[in-house]
Every structure is written in C-alpha cells, then in structure tokens.
A and B are shown apart, each in its own frame.
Chain A
Amino acid sequence: MAKIYSETTPKNVNLKPKDETISFLLNYSKALSVINYNKLKFEALLN
C-alpha cells in the first residue's frame, strides 16, 4: 500500500466530552420524566 503523506492524523488530542455536555446530559436525565397512563407513555421535561 502506498503511504499517504499529505494527511497527518491528529494526535495528542484530548478525546473527552466537555464537562458541560456531561452535566447537560445528567440534568436532562433528571428533568425527563415518563408518565405512564394506561398503556400510553408521556414524556415530560420538568425543569
């Protein structure tokens, strides 16, 4: 296989999601409540 020199793979990047993203997700999870009514399921975001 020929080597492609023109593209360098990015290295040493800190591959982690931002803390804001994580905290958003955790808050989203806390806010989301699913209400069961008979066989129906309702989603509600209670902030």
Chain B
Amino acid sequence: MKKGLIQDAELVSNYIKGDENSLSLLIQRHKQKIYSFIYSKVYDRDITEDVFQDTFIKVIRTLKLGKYNEEGKFLPWVMRIAHNLVIDHFRKNSRMPKFDNTGEFSIFSVLSDSSLNAEKTIIKNQVESDVRRIIEELPADQKQVLMMRMYQDMSFKEISERTGVSINTALGRMRYALINMRKVIDQNNIVLTN
C-alpha cells in the first residue's frame, strides 16, 4: 500500500493501536501547514517551534488517552489545538512580558507606557458614563451615600455626620445602592469592563 494513500483517520486509528510510525507520517504530512499557521500568528521562529511542539504533545496525549473522537477531521482538530495554544501564548505574554535576550539592553523592557491608547480611552469614557447613568437611577438617599463615598472619598463616619443618619444606616444605603446597581447592570446586560 502506498503511504500517501492512507487516510488521516486510518493513521490515527493505527497510531492509537500502537503503530508509532503512523504518528511520524501524520507529522510529516501536516507539519508545514501547522507550522506556517502558527508562524503567521506569532511571527517568531522560536515561539513557533515551542507552540508546534506543545501542539503535538497535546495531540499525542489526547490520542494515547483515548480521548480523541473521530467526529471531525484530524488536521482541523490539530489546527484548533494550535490556535488555542497561540491564544494562551499571547495571554501569558500580556501578563508576563518576554525577556528579549538579544544581548542589547532595551529601555522599553523597564519602561512601560501607562497612558491609555485611543481605544482604551474611549472604552474607559463609556464605562464611566454608563456608571454615572446607573447612579442617576438610584433612589436619592442611596445615591447621596454612594457619591460621598466613591467620588468624594468620605468615610462612613463623615457621611453619617453630614447626612444626619447613623453609620449603620449609611452602610445599609451603600449596600443597597450597590445591589441596585448590580441589578440594573444585569437587567440591561451592561458590560462594564475594559
């Protein structure tokens, strides 16, 4: 039988049965597509190599553990794994910036631009205006306590003195203000994250 004629599904099933050579054929057959796919996302040879390796480690483990189901095709499944790992890579990198080991010192590795970019500024403004609109919906007593606490940074003791209610009442109003705001946010499916 010619090697090229064996379908992926058959190679996968042979591999699960213990034929290690099938894995080699599968890797040889698809390595370029998968590698190029990863490279097109990360644009770095070393990272591509890592992600490629992690992809196949996952493939091997899944196949050996018998968790692979034959519903889809092999290549799209591997591509999906690679895609997820690329996303993981970018997530990890945004939390922990890469150390660029080129031997040159880069000032940008210790400096960060803390100012918001245009998109984030717009989102921030939207979130703030949404929050203000929700606060406007609150009953007057709750709104008063919340404004004093959050925007004027007053303590509950000061709030109770200013409004002439006990500290416990002020705390209660704050609590209900937050509960009511959450309710409005849930009811209207408002997204307040950036």
Contacts and interface: CB of A to CB of B under 8 A. Distances in A.
Given A17-B49, A30-B20, A32-B64, A25 B56 contact: yes
A28 B60 contact: yes
Contacts of B145: none
B31 A22 contact: yes
Interface in A6-47: 10, 13, 15-18, 21-22, 24-26, 28-30, 32-34, 41, 43
A15 B53 contact: no
B32 A16 contact: yes
B69 to A, nearest CB: 16
B65 A15 contact: no
A42 B52 CA distance: 25
B60 A32 contact: yes
Given A16-B32, A22-B31, 8 more contacts: A16-B31, A17-B48, A17-B52, A22-B28, A25-B60, A26-B20, A29-B20, A34-B66
Identify whether the interface residues of B are mostly helix, strand, loop, or mixed. Answer: helix
Contacts of A28: 57, 60
A40 to B, nearest CB: 11
A13 B66 CA distance: 36
Given A10-B43, A25-B27, A15 B35 contact: yes
Closest 10 CB pairs between A and B? A15-B36, A25-B56, A29-B60, A34-B64, A17-B52, A17-B35, A29-B23, A21-B53, A15-B35, A17-B31
B49 A26 contact: no
B24 interface: yes
Given A17-B52, A41-B65, A43-B65, A22 B27 contact: yes
17 contacts: A15-B36, A16-B35, A17-B49, A17-B53, A18-B49, A21-B52, A22-B27, A25-B23, A25-B53, A25-B56, A26-B20, A28-B57, A32-B61, A33-B64, A34-B65, A41-B65, A43-B65
